[in-house]
């Protein structure tokens, strides 16, 4: 799914109006109907709505939503500015329609202070949409400050008021903190970054049938990984295949006290389809690995840490989980990078070793996948002010080094050498637990070994990891779920994909 800028979305609206054809007020009506359908389905136990409408087209959406909710039997109060002369043309049309219903009271923003926000009241924010170009101030700032203090359910139409669609806001900005954002047709980039996404609550994408030709033909470098995209990437297993068909994965991991990281990565590689899985680890982990992962073959790389990075032909390596940074490990790993030329997966201590000298970055084989969390990324490439700046740096470095960067975050980003950015929307806060990254390393290594192109391995692997995490959270809660629970859900996710792909075939 493409992510468009606010300007591209505006042009998409215009193109739809000109080519469907449909009037702008009819398109607004369609958007409002989509909102009301979702609200009425999900807020049926609430009786009253307080709808706050701005002077622009987002306010026009709000006026239309208020009218439709009233016609469905809800109690509705509308709040707007006392300067109605400034309403946009379409907002004015919907405001006049609203005035035909005596049961809907229209109040001034100033009356908010004395309004009774009881527990059955839902606040709907339709003050500003995607066209916001400056920080909120004056009356609007005071209003948002007041509404943010309320404990009521809050819903924003298209974009939370005060939030920019394409960039980060000033840290002192006032932004409506909503529980749900009903976004028209597209994700906005700001919804997907931690500094700004914290204001959106749960994002619901409403299809309002904007012109498909415009969407298809308009270029962007930013995408959300959709289920449809994953199903196109996924390759069902052939009945006439054998273990050699699905590659050789070598998980290079573990040191004394950190063998668990190796276990998690190895189990993940096994569970996600690698044909042959080896584990290169120190001797101190032999019994643990052979007992917990009997399907994997053990290669001894040292006593209490790895000091011998043996290269096996025709194998894909995943290096880093629990590796440690012992000087002998570091020396041997750097030599390994100089000798090994195939794409591989690097994470955790492998990245920490590389970060000791920026010259080491050039040793990463082209086409490889690295998966740093923000701190590891900082050690590798330097500091950044925020996640937007960090992403820009990742785009630059992926191009320079010709590698794929899986930048781990709440919405993990996959950055390609061509400058494309794919945001993952599966996963949850339960993944914020030691060991989750080790699981991802095993998945990525397995998929790369099976012959998936690096970009597809990264997209499928990150999505699969997050989806399994979602299933684990449903069973055990975000707090109680463990990385091993993620591994145990891979089978259910893969079964689900297989069924969908088979049905389509």
Q: Are 428 and 422 in contact (CB under 8 A)?
A: no
What DSSP character marks residue 236? Answer: P
Q: Are 297 and 271 in contact (CB under 8 A)?
A: no
Question: What is the model's pLDDT at position 189?
Answer: 97
Report the chain's mean pLDDT, rounded to a whole number: 95
DSSP output for 152-177: SEEEEESS-TT--SSSPPPTT-----
* Domain end point (choices 220, 252, 274): 220
Measured CA distances, 319 to 230, 323, 355, 445 (Å): 25, 8, 15, 9
Task: Say whether both 490 and 446 belong to one domain.
Answer: yes
Measured CA distances, 485 to 22, 397, 463, 471, 490 (Å): 50, 34, 16, 9, 9
Specify if 337 maps to a domain: yes
Question: What is the model's pLDDT at position 19?
Answer: 95
Rounded to whole angstroms, how far apart are CA atoms 3 and 191?
11
Among the residues of 419-482, which ranges form H helices? 436-449, 454-476
Measured CA distances, 323 to 302, 433, 444 (Å): 12, 18, 17
Specify if 11 maps to a domain: yes
Q: Tens digits of per-residue pLDDT, 358-378?
A: 999 999 999 999 999 999 999
Work out the pLDDT band at 47, boundaries 50, 70, 90. confident
Among the residues of 272-318, which ranges form H helices? 286-292
Specify if 151 maps to a domain: yes
Sign of the alpha-carbon dihedral angle for 133, 137, 139, 145: positive
Q: Tens digits of per-residue pLDDT, 373-406?
A: 999 999 999 999 999 999 999 999 999 999 999 9
Measured CA distances, 415 to 192, 342, 349, 498 (Å): 14, 19, 21, 27
Rounded to whole angstroms, how far apart are CA atoms 225 and 366?
24
Is 327 exposed, middle or buried (CB count within 10 Å of its CB: 0-12, 13-18, 19+)? exposed
Question: What is the model's pLDDT at position 336?
Answer: 97
Q: Are 248 and 312 in contact (CB under 8 A)?
A: yes
DSSP output for 51-63: EEE-SSHHHHHHH
Contacts (Cβ under 8 Å, ≥6 apart) of 332: 306, 307, 308, 309
Q: Which two tokens stand for residue 483?
A: 């990385």
Task: Say whether both 142 and 49 belong to one domain.
Answer: yes
Closest by CA to 232, choosing from 13, 500, 472, 29, is 500
Report whether pLDDT(68) > 70: yes
Report whether pLDDT(292) > 90: yes
Specify if 468 maps to a domain: yes
Q: Are 486 and 494 in contact (CB under 8 A)?
A: no
Total domains present in the chain: 2
- Kindly report which listed range (153-157, 160-164, 235-239, 428-432) carries the lowest average pLDDT score: 235-239
Rounded to whole angstroms, how far apart are CA atoms 304 and 317?
20
Task: Say whether both 158 and 243 belong to one domain.
Answer: no
Report whether pLDDT(505) > 80: no
Q: Within 10 Å of residue 21's Cβ, how many Cβ atoms?
A: 8
Mean pLDDT over residues 74-98, rounded?
Answer: 89
Task: Say whether both 187 and 272 belong to one domain.
Answer: no
Specify if 157 maps to a domain: yes
Mean pLDDT over residues 466-493, rounded?
Answer: 98
Residue 76's SS3 state is strand
Q: What CATH number is attached to the domain comprising 74?
A: 3.40.50.10260
Q: Are 195 and 18 in contact (CB under 8 A)?
A: no
Report whether pLDDT(89) > 80: yes
Task: Say whether both 272 and 360 belong to one domain.
Answer: yes
Task: Say whether both 104 and 142 belong to one domain.
Answer: yes
- Structural domain span for residue 429: 229-504
Q: Are 91 and 24 in contact (CB under 8 A)?
A: no
Q: What CATH number is attached to the domain comprising 438?
A: 3.40.1190.20
Element (H, E) at 345: strand 345-346
Contacts (Cβ under 8 Å, ≥6 apart) of 380: 351, 354, 355, 361, 370, 372, 397
Question: What is the model's pLDDT at position 85?
Answer: 65
Task: Say whether both 391 and 338 belong to one domain.
Answer: yes
Task: Say whether both 252 and 302 belong to one domain.
Answer: yes
Q: Tens digits of per-residue pLDDT, 216-234?
A: 999 999 999 999 999 999 9
Q: Per-residue b/e over 169-196, b at no fewer than 16 CB within 10 Å?
A: beeebbbbbbebbbbbbbbbbbbbbeeb
Q: Which two tokens stand for residue 230?
A: 């994953």
Rounded to whole angstroms, how far apart are CA atoms 125 and 160?
7
Q: Which two tokens stand for residue 77?
A: 């109060």
* Domain end point (choices 172, 189, 220): 220
Is 450 exposed, middle or buried (CB count within 10 Å of its CB: 0-12, 13-18, 19+)? buried
Residue 134's SS3 state is coil
Q: Tens digits of per-residue pLDDT, 240-251?
A: 777 778 899 999
Task: Say whether both 208 and 273 belong to one domain.
Answer: no
Specify if 67 maps to a domain: yes
Specify if 1 maps to a domain: no
Q: Tens digits of per-residue pLDDT, 112-124?
A: 999 999 999 999 9
Residue length of the chain: 505
Specify if 42 maps to a domain: yes
Work out the pLDDT band at 84, boundaries 50, 70, 90. low
Question: What is the model's pLDDT at position 45?
Answer: 87
Strand order in the sheet with 121-126: 105-108, 75-80, 48-53, 121-126, 153-157, 180-184, 202-206
Strands 316-319 and 180-184: unpaired
Rounded to whole angstroms, how far apart are CA atoms 203 and 310?
47
* Domain end point (choices 195, 220, 245): 220
Question: What is the model's pLDDT at position 271?
Answer: 97
Report whether pLDDT(82) > 80: no
Contacts (Cβ under 8 Å, ≥6 apart) of 41: none
Mean pLDDT over residues 162-185, rounded?
Answer: 93
Q: Tens digits of per-residue pLDDT, 7-35?
A: 999 999 999 999 999 999 999 999 999 99
Task: Say whether both 359 and 239 belong to one domain.
Answer: yes
Q: Tens digits of per-residue pLDDT, 123-170?
A: 999 999 887 778 888 889 999 999 999 999 999 999 999 999 999 988
Task: Say whether both 178 and 269 belong to one domain.
Answer: no
Task: Say whether both 69 and 165 belong to one domain.
Answer: yes
């Amino acid at each position: 799914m493409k992510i468009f800028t606010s300007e591209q979305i505006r042009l998409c609206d215009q193109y739809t109006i000109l080519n469907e054809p449909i009037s702008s007020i009819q398109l607004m009506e369609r958007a409002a109907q989509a909102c009301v359908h979702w609200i009425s389905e999900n807020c049926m136990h609430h009786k009253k709505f307080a709808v706050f409408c701005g002077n622009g087209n987002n306010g026009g959406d709000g006026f239309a939503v208020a009218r439709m909710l009233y016609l469905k039997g809800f109690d509705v109060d509308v709040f707007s500015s006392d300067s109605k002369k400034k309403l946009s043309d379409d907002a004015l049309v919907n405001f006049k329609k609203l005035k035909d219903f005596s049961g809907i009271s229209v109040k001034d923003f100033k009356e908010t202070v004395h309004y009774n926000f009881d527990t059955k009241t839902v606040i709907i924010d339709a003050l500003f949409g995607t066209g916001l170009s400056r920080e909120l101030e004056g009356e609007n700032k005071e209003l948002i400050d007041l509404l943010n203090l309320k404990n009521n359910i809050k819903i924003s139409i298209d974009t939370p008021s005060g939030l920019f669609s394409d960039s980060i806001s000033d840290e002192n900005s006032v932004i409506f903190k909503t529980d749900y954002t009903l976004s028209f047709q597209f994700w906005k980039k700001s919804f997907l970054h931690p500094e700004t996404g914290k204001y959106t609550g749960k994002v619901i994408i409403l299809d309002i049938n904007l012109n498909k030709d415009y969407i298809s033909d308009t270029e962007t470098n930013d995408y959300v990984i959709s289920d449809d995209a994953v199903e196109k990437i996924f390759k069902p297993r052939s009945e006439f295949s054998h273990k050699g068909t699905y590659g050789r994965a070598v998980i290079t991991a573990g040191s004394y006290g950190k063998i668990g990281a190796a276990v998690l990565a190895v189990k993940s590689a096994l569970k996600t389809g690698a044909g042959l899985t080896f584990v290169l680890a120190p001797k101190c982990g032999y019994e643990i690995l052979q007992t917990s992962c009997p399907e994997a073959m053990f290669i001894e790389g040292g006593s209490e840490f790895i000091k011998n990075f043996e290269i096996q032909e025709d194998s894909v390596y995943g290096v880093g989980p629990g590796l440690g940074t012992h000087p002998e490990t570091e020396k041997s790993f750097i030599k390994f990078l100089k000798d090994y030329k195939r794409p591989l997966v690097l994470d955790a201590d492998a990245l920490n070793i590389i970060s000791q000298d920026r010259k080491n970055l050039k040793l990463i084989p082209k086409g490889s996948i690295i998966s740093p969390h923000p701190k590891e990324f900082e050690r590798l490439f330097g500091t950044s002010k925020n996640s937007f700046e960090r992403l820009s740096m990742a785009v630059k470095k992926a191009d320079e080094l010709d590698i794929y960067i899986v930048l781990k975050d709440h919405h993990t980003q996959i950055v390609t050498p061509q400058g494309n950015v794919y945001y993952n929307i599966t996963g949850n806060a339960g993944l914020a637990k030691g060991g989750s990254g080790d699981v991802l390393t095993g998945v990525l290594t397995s998929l790369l070994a099976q012959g998936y192109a690096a970009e597809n391995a990264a997209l499928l692997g990150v999505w699969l990891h997050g989806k399994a995490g979602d299933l684990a959270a449903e069973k055990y809660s975000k707090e109680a779920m463990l990385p091993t629970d993620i591994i145990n859900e891979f089978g259910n996710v893969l079964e689900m994909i297989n069924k969908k792909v088979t049905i389509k075939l």
